[in-house]
Structure 1
Amino acid sequence: MSNPWFLKLVGISLALVVEICSGDKYSRNDFPSDFVFGSGTSAYQVEGAANEDGRTPSIWDTFAHAGNVHGATGDVACDQYHKYKEDVQLMADIGLEAYRFSISWSRLIPNGRGPVNPKGLQYYNNLINELLSHGIQPHVALSNYDLPQTLEDEYGGWISREIVKDFSVYADVCFREFGDRVKYWSTVNEPNVFGQGSYDFGFLPPQRCSPPFGMFNCTRGNSSTEPYIAVHHILLAHASAVNLYRKKYQEKQNGYVGLCIYSFWYIPYTDSKEDAIATQRANDFLLGWVLDPLVYGDYPQIMKKNAGSRIPAFTKAEAKLVKGSFDFIGVIHYSSIYVKDNPNGLVVQQRDYTADAAVTFIGLSIMTEFKVSITPWALEGVLGYLKQAYGNPPVFVYENGLRTPHNSSLEDTPRVKYMEAYLEGVLNALRNGSNTRGYFTWSLLDVFELFDGYDAGYGLYYVDMEDPNLKRYPKLSAHWYSDFLKGKTVGSDPERVGELNQNYISYS
């Protein structure tokens, strides 16, 4: 998407501190041969052509055009709609093994339901074919914050049960038209964040919230109930799509369908029993909200206890449908957060902790330093938690990356150190038995970011937004990733990064 969303919520200004782990050397050959390395983007963030060839607005268009993203929009973005061949060549130049992108529902089916748009169908066929012609594996997300606005207007989108049928029909179109070439599908991106950010705090599209919980001036919504309702319907829609795929397509197409979650690595603020319990509570509310129904068929007990009648209940048939409705779990991870028990805290507040910030939520205090550290053990911890708590499902790390100002130098050494460290964390998790199958850095290009617009970038490639042709320039991180993917030994070695810097400067 991205941006560590909770940090954005409390208005924390982020700086970088590098905390490298062991500094061991490693190479691509240390990972399993079928482990896949890639990068990603999403439709509204990269495609542009927002008003071309039959595409209609999504809730993200509406949100951006209301001035919520520094006055920026994705109308043009990186214009991948017209420049997809160029971008696929950039992926090939790096040596990417896979590319994760999302499909714009309103480009493919402009009214949300009904006729398929031939131009939209042609675009995604062209993109998929271009990827495959360069040996790049497509990983496709069906929904990434860009529900067709027409469905939001008609019945409220995800807060209506009608969305389950419409999403299933949309998924059916995608499976039918692209499934002969796409083997990895994820349904809805990070529903745990979407539920809170869009329907509780109201700082994400479709911006629904209510006092005193809403962080923005929402004109509609109910923060007490709608987050639970929206995520409930997402789970039912996801399960319905997976059931459809398994019955109609999987045997013939040999593909896989999963769901993608946002994950922090929560750390007890002290070694007290209370903080340990609060940390588990935080995990249940962030990860268990989605994963418990998928693995165990119901929401975590602490959620049901705290939310009471506000959280919908699964019928026996629904629980059976949802339980086991995944072939893999996608993980989005950027940072770690400290957790302190606060039994009286059900109101959002900020507090100073010696250069720390805290937000009180669901009866605990969530804290983070103003300086965001490179803590690869945090991603390693998330992968270990999925192994221990949820039976070690297949996992793809679908987003992991570092934010830098968009106008910063192409010599993005901090991003190189970040990637170098986090890949080591993934390797450590694998050696400890994690069933992780792939790693995707966010993002391929400096795309339109949900919080920052074009003021910040996560890309391997810088996009010159002042250039009419939106020229792409490789950053140091692109060269580092390429070296790694082509077999060069890497590791947390400042001297080697300096050497790469010199080679990059000479190359540029």
Structure 2
Amino acid sequence: MWKKGFVVVELLLLMLVCSPVLLVVDGLRRDEYPPHFVFGASTSAYQVEGAADEDGRKPSIWDTFAHAGNANMYKGDGDIACDQYHKYKEDVQLMAKMGLDAYRFSISWSRLIPDGKGPINQKGLQYYNNLINELISHGIQAHVTLYHWDLPQTLEDEYGGWVNKKIVRDFTAFANVCFREFGDRVKHWTTINEGNVFSQGGYDIGFLPPQHCSPSSIFNCSKGNSSTEPYLVTHNMLLAHASAATLYRSKYQDKQHGFIGFNLLAFGFVPLTNTSEDIIAAQRAQDFFLGWFLSPFIFGDYPETMKKNVGSRLPIFTKSESNLVKGSIDFVGINFYYSYFVKDNPRSLYIKDRDYTADMAVELTAYTSEETSKDEAQIIPWTLEGLLDSLKNIYGDFPIYIHENGLQTHRNSSLEDWPRIKYLQEYIGSILDMLRNGHDIRGYFVWSFMDVFELLGGYESTFGLYYIDLNDPTLRRQPKLSSQWYSNFLNNRTMDPMVAMQIEKNALLHNAI
């Protein structure tokens, strides 16, 4: 059997060498996309910067979470991370060499304003000015996220952070500093990254900072209430975003000509069966994950499904709050990795002291397809398009940036990351189809530019285009083949035939085994 498989592989390789079209490029070209479409890569402050206690920076809730053991899921912290704080010039040069249009990064609130409010840290201000200037000097747009889950620990200790409405005032003041100091060069602002996951993971299940949850959770939180806090935190995030957006539009937008939006983690939700119960359940899951935010942004109120299932635990918008939140986005950032089968589960509504997860009344299982192998189960761009179709039908047409999309591998995987190349090719190609089908997608960002400190896997789980050698004191950046593929695509080049053949050889050998 092995010999037969090997002969098949060699025959296919011979066909590849003789073929004028290499599978790794598959005719995909950058110049087929609209002229102003942005291609980039993403990271976040705590995951790449390091220098955790240098130049005036103080701890955030993510520092506290990591130093307490990452909810016992993995080891590691962001104290050093990729050391972009000291190596930003080198990283920007790599971005420029690759041909990125844009770099999406976040600003560490506790580096810029160490106590969350009060005096600005001049060293922190200087760092972000330097980073932004370095990007601009190389023709790379700075797409900035204000909050990527790293609230200054001082605010968490003082009044509970996001569970307290005081956060709206302090977040708006932080945003004001960023708009004032960087807005002459930054044209794309995202207030909060994955607000839906931050609420659920940080305040319902408890596997994200600041690790709040009810005692019944498996993550052994020291405080929290999974029944109420996720909804309260989301309400305060919506008000904080809307307050910052109102400030930007009234004071800065006319002069700076930028845009402000919000980011959500999105999933494709596929009914497990064709029964009306599962079809309705899939829509309900979408309402809970995405409508939770999009409905207030577009219509000024929460979805009816949430009002029905959550009842009095769901905060109520005053008329002035509703008017403030409604229409407060110029775009939506979408992070997309996975899809789920959805099964109706009405029994969860009868759980005593039920939480956000139980309120959805669904069972979720990872989406797989007979058309994809075990390793390819995540390459399902048609579920992303189906999701965008659904959102457009419900909420109308609004600009979208795909802020994160990428493939997870293990740190010890080869630099010849052909599965990632196939993944990127499939999704980037599908974006072109979505554009042709009328979706207003403005940009696509790979997660991540380099291997970072991952929230759910520390340093063992990697998504990067560049490998970071953690055993090298210089944290040497090594390009993976995916970085070469992405660069070739961005510059309308085909990949070197020998490299392409090696990638396909690896793929075919893997499938034969």
Structure 2 vs 1, CA of residues 126 and 347 (structure 1 numbering), >3 Å: closer, same or farther? farther
Correspondence for 2:14: none
Structure 2 vs 1, CA of residues 296 and 72 (structure 1 numbering), >3 Å: closer, same or farther? same
Deviations 1:158-178 (A, max 9, x none): 000000000000000000000
- Given candidates 129, 135, 143, the residue that maps to 2:133 is 129
Determine if the alignment matches structure 1 residue 91 to structure 2 residue 95.
Answer: yes
Query: How far 1:92 moved relative to its partner?
Result: 0.7
Query: How far 1:373 moved relative to its partner?
Result: 2.9
- Cα contact 1:376–1:422 (8 A) shared by 2: yes
Greater Cα shift, 137-146 or 480-489: 480-489
Correspondence for 1:52: 54
Query: How far 1:30 moved relative to its partner?
Result: 1.2
- Cα contact 2:50–2:85 (8 A) shared by 1: yes
CA distance in 2, matches of 1:260, 1:499: 37
CA distance in 1, matches of 2:240, 2:367: 37
CA distance in 1, matches of 2:254, 2:226: 42
Within 5 Å, which residues of 2 pair with 1:393-432? 393-432=398-437
Correspondence for 2:151: 147
- Number of equivalenced pairs: 468
Give the 3-state SS of the residue equivalent to 1:52 in structure 2.
coil
1:259 corresponds to which letter in structure 2? F
Query: How far 1:345 moved relative to its partner?
Result: 2.9
Within 5 Å, which residues of 2 pair with 1:86-485? 86-212=90-216, 214-346=217-349, 362-368=360-366, 371=374, 372-485=377-490
Correspondence for 2:64: 62
Correspondence for 1:7: none
- Cα contact 1:476–1:501 (8 A) shared by 2: no
- Cα contact 2:338–2:367 (8 A) shared by 1: no
Which structure dedicates a bigger proportion of its chain to helix? 2
Query: How far 1:428 moved relative to its partner?
Result: 1.1
1:384 corresponds to which letter in structure 2? D
Deviations 1:197-249 (A, max 9, x none): 0000011000000033x231011110000000000000000000000000000
Deviations 1:456-486 (A, max 9, x none): 1100000000100000000000000000000
CA distance in 1, matches of 2:116, 2:477: 33
TM-score by length of 1: 0.89
Greater Cα shift, 270-279 or 367-376: 367-376
Give the 3-state SS of the residue equivalent to 2:347 in structure 1.
coil
Give the 3-state SS of the residue equivalent to 2:290 in structure 1.
helix
Query: How far 1:70 moved relative to its partner?
Result: 2.0
CA distance in 2, matches of 1:60, 1:407: 26
Query: How far 1:346 moved relative to its partner?
Result: 4.6
Structure 2 vs 1, CA of residues 309 and 361 (structure 1 numbering), >3 Å: closer, same or farther? closer
- Cα contact 1:413–1:497 (8 A) shared by 2: no
Query: How far 1:123 moved relative to its partner?
Result: 0.1
Q: Which runs of 5+ in 1 are unaligned?
A: 1-20, 349-358, 504-508
Which structure dedicates a bigger proportion of its chain to strand? 1
CA distance in 2, matches of 1:495, 1:79: 34
Query: How far 1:25 moved relative to its partner?
Result: 3.1
CA distance in 2, matches of 1:93, 1:347: 57
2:283 corresponds to which letter in structure 1? Q
- Cα contact 2:214–2:226 (8 A) shared by 1: yes
Give the 3-state SS of the residue equivalent to 1:451 in structure 2.
coil
2:57 corresponds to which letter in structure 1? R
Give the 3-state SS of the residue equivalent to 2:365 in structure 1.
strand
Give the 3-state SS of the residue equivalent to 1:374 in structure 2.
coil
- Cα contact 1:98–1:138 (8 A) shared by 2: yes
Q: CA RMSD in A?
A: 2.0
CA distance in 1, matches of 2:419, 2:504: 12
2:378 corresponds to which letter in structure 1? S
Give the 3-state SS of the residue equivalent to 1:439 in structure 2.
strand
1:466 corresponds to which letter in structure 2? N
Give the 3-state SS of the residue equivalent to 2:378 in structure 1.
strand
Give the 3-state SS of the residue equivalent to 2:263 in structure 1.
strand
- Cα contact 2:418–2:503 (8 A) shared by 1: no
Query: How far 1:497 moved relative to its partner?
Result: 4.2
- Cα contact 1:379–1:422 (8 A) shared by 2: no
- Given candidates 29, 32, 35, the residue that maps to 1:30 is 32
Identity %: 61
1:64 corresponds to which letter in structure 2? A
- Cα contact 1:264–1:334 (8 A) shared by 2: yes
Query: How far 1:489 moved relative to its partner?
Result: 6.0
CA distance in 1, matches of 2:206, 2:454: 17
- Cα contact 2:406–2:423 (8 A) shared by 1: yes
Query: How far 1:498 moved relative to its partner?
Result: 2.9
- Cα contact 1:339–1:365 (8 A) shared by 2: yes
Structure 2 vs 1, CA of residues 448 and 288 (structure 1 numbering), >3 Å: closer, same or farther? same
Query: How far 1:302 moved relative to its partner?
Result: 0.6
- Cα contact 1:139–1:182 (8 A) shared by 2: yes
2:364 corresponds to which letter in structure 1? I
2:244 corresponds to which letter in structure 1? A
- Cα contact 1:379–1:426 (8 A) shared by 2: no
- Cα contact 1:293–1:299 (8 A) shared by 2: yes
Structure 2 vs 1, CA of residues 417 and 346 (structure 1 numbering), >3 Å: closer, same or farther? farther
Structure 2 vs 1, CA of residues 258 and 320 (structure 1 numbering), >3 Å: closer, same or farther? same
Give the 3-state SS of the residue equivalent to 1:275 in structure 2.
helix
- Cα contact 1:411–1:501 (8 A) shared by 2: no
TM-score by length of 2: 0.88
CA distance in 2, matches of 1:473, 1:105: 30
